[in-house]
Every structure is written in structure tokens, then in C-alpha cells.
Structure 1
Amino acid sequence: MDRKPAVFFDRDGVLNVDSDYLFEIDKFLWIDGAIEAVKAVNDAGYFAFVVTNQSGVARGFYQEADILRLHDWMTSQLAAHGARIDAFEYCPFHPDGLVERYRLVSDRRKPQPGMIADLLKKFPVDVSRSFLVGDRPSDMQAARAAGLPGHAFPGGNLRDFILPLLASG
């Protein structure tokens, strides 16, 4: 199978406005240009992935089912604009979690590269042309650990930020 490049998006602060421990659809706000950025990634022939730490599960704020419900809603919103995320990966674990079964150190929690590594095993990704877009140092560290360039999204319009990155790839 032919390999193709991928864009790994952090979720909170990149695709949506970061409001602490977001899981409710009615509180979700897309970042300006986010839907158009995902569509641009799709149209450029890249995989579009989401890799997101969701320690709110370990902290007892919400359940994994809430994350899945939100990601399903995001999928439907994107589909209405002809865009798609090829896969969502999330890490519900945190070493200081209150919920015992989620209280652990995980190689899937950024800055570790586990979520990215898992996607690289599942999809035929051309790593040499792939990159991550995040808004925190832990995103950049995870990208580096996975052998990918990381690009720090400073805010503003995500489509305007991503188009030059796609053009240079």
C-alpha cells in the first residue's frame, strides 16, 4: 500500500478553544479556520489524526464515553463540510488521577509518543513528510520523540497556519 503523509493535530487549543477539561458538546468552540484546515489536509492527500491527552477521565471529571461522544459529534460537524479525521487517539491516564484504574504513567500520554506510535502502526504513514501541530511544549516533545517535526500553533486562524506547512511538504 502506498504511504502518505499525515498531520497529527492536538485537539484542545488547536482544533477547539481550550476550556479546561472540555467534554460537553454545548461548550465546544472550533478554533477559527479549524474545519477548513482539516479539509485542506484531506484535500492535500494527507491523513488527518487527532492525538489528545484527556486526563479529565483519570481526574473523575468525565468518562471515556463522553470523549467518544464528543469525537463522534466533531466527525459529523467535519463531514458536513466535506472534511474528516482519519483517526482519534486519546489518553485518559494520569499518574495523579483520582480514578484508580486510570491512575498510571502511560507511554500514550504526551510528552510520550505512544499515541503517535500507535497510529504509525495502524496506518501507512510516510513519516518523512508528516508533522504534528500542537500548542504546548508536551506536544512538541511527543512529536520529536516520534521522529516528527512539531509546529507550535500560536492561535489565530488554523487554516492560515497550516496551508504553508502543507505547501512545503
Structure 2
Amino acid sequence: MTSSKKYKALFLDRDGTINVEKNYVFRIEDFEFIPGIFKLLKSYQNKGFKLFVITNQSGIARKYYTENDYFRLNDWMIQQFQKQGIEITKVYHCPHHPEITGECTCRKPEPGMILQAIHEFNIDPVNSVLIGDKKRDILAGEKAGIGKNLYIQNLLQAGLD
């Protein structure tokens, strides 16, 4: 018997939301977690949310770093969350840039990465939340039908609660 239970999800942008925005972060030594991000993710996890990261990584298309560089940093980031008792369900990335690789459906503000997660993990978008730092993050969430789309800056000002 298969479960038709729908899950709620927290979708997070990476650069500027999970870590401090610096140009094209791909090295561990340049990755700096936003203060309070562990507490924020832990609180959503404790409320039964599955946690997803959705990140544009045009630095790959621009050849600033390789996809292997990206995966190395991503694996390290996931391990840092695990050390805090936080389980990231999956990380989605878009390696494209429209001027280099052409248009795609995954680069935010397009909702492709979010829609893929909704499909793969039986997510209920209406009861899910997206947190990002740019308008394109919010637009992607709105296009995917995510119920609550929030700017990390507003959460930081409110103390991340």
C-alpha cells in the first residue's frame, strides 16, 4: 500500500540565504554560514518540514569553477548541517546561464528545481515555505505555488523566528 501523504517543505536559496553572499563561492574556506541559519533550519525540521536547497550556480557555466568544485563544497555544507542534527533532503542546482548555455527551466526565477522536488518527494506546495534573498527566489516560489515565500533579510531583522 503506497502512502499518499503529502509533505511540507522548506526551500532555501544558498548564496545570501544559507551563507554570506560573496562572488561565486565554491571553496570551503570562502563559505561562511549566515548567523542563526542552523537555528532556523532546526526549527523548521522540528515542525516536520523536509529541507531542500535550490541554488543557481552560473559560475559553472561561466567556467569560474567546475561542477566537481561545486559538489565538493555542497558535500561539505551538508556535513556541517548533519553535525548540527539537520538533515537536508536534497540539494538542487542550476549550472546554466542564459547568455552562455541558453534558456532553461531550472534557473530561478523559473520554478524547475522546486517543481522537481515537489514531484520527487510528494511535497504539498501550499503548506510549504521558500526563503531566499533575491526577487528571483521569491518569484520561483510563487510560480511553483509555494504557500509562503519569505526574504531572509526580513527573518534576520526579526531574529530568525
What's the TM-score, normalizing by structure 1?
Answer: 0.87
Write the deviation string for residues 90-114 of structure 1: whole angstroms up to 9, x where unpaired: 00000223xxxxx121100000000
In the alignment, structure 1 segments of 5+ residues that lack a partner are 98-102, 164-169
Write the deviation string for residues 22-63 of structure 1: whole angstroms up to 9, x where unpaired: 010011000011122122121111011000000000001011
- Rounded to whole Å, the distance in 2 between the matches of 1:151 and 1:111 is 14
Structure 1 counterpart SS, 2:10: strand
Equivalent pair of 2:9/2:128 in contact (CA under 8 Å): yes
1:167 aligned partner: none
Q: Would you say 1:31 and 2:31 are equivalent positions?
A: no
Q: Would you say 1:76 and 2:79 are equivalent positions?
A: yes
Equivalent of 2:118 in 102, 117, 120: 120
Equivalent of 2:92 in 67, 71, 89: 89
Equivalent of 2:15 in 4, 12, 16: 12
Equivalent pair of 2:125/2:144 in contact (CA under 8 Å): no
AA of the residue aligned to 2:27: E
Equivalent of 2:142 in 141, 144, 164: 144
- Rounded to whole Å, the distance in 1 between the matches of 2:17 and 2:128 is 17
Residues 158, 65 of structure 1: alpha-carbon distance in 2 compared, 3 angstrom cutoff = farther
- Rounded to whole Å, the distance in 2 between the matches of 1:28 and 1:124 is 31
2:64 aligned partner: 61
- Rounded to whole Å, the distance in 2 between the matches of 1:67 and 1:37 is 24
**Aligned Cα root-mean-square deviation (Å):** 1.6
Structure 2 counterpart SS, 1:19: coil
1:154 aligned partner: 153
Residues 142, 127 of structure 1: alpha-carbon distance in 2 compared, 3 angstrom cutoff = same
In the alignment, structure 2 segments of 5+ residues that lack a partner are none
- Rounded to whole Å, the distance in 1 between the matches of 2:19 and 2:123 is 25
- Rounded to whole Å, the distance in 1 between the matches of 2:159 and 2:49 is 17
AA of the residue aligned to 1:131: V
Deviation of 1:130 after TM superposition, in Å, equals 0.3
AA of the residue aligned to 1:79: Q
Structure 1 counterpart SS, 2:61: coil
AA of the residue aligned to 1:35: F
Equivalent pair of 1:133/1:152 in contact (CA under 8 Å): yes
Structure 2 counterpart SS, 1:45: coil
Equivalent pair of 2:45/2:51 in contact (CA under 8 Å): yes
Deviation of 1:156 after TM superposition, in Å, equals 6.9
Deviation of 1:157 after TM superposition, in Å, equals 3.9
- Rounded to whole Å, the distance in 1 between the matches of 2:105 and 2:46 is 32
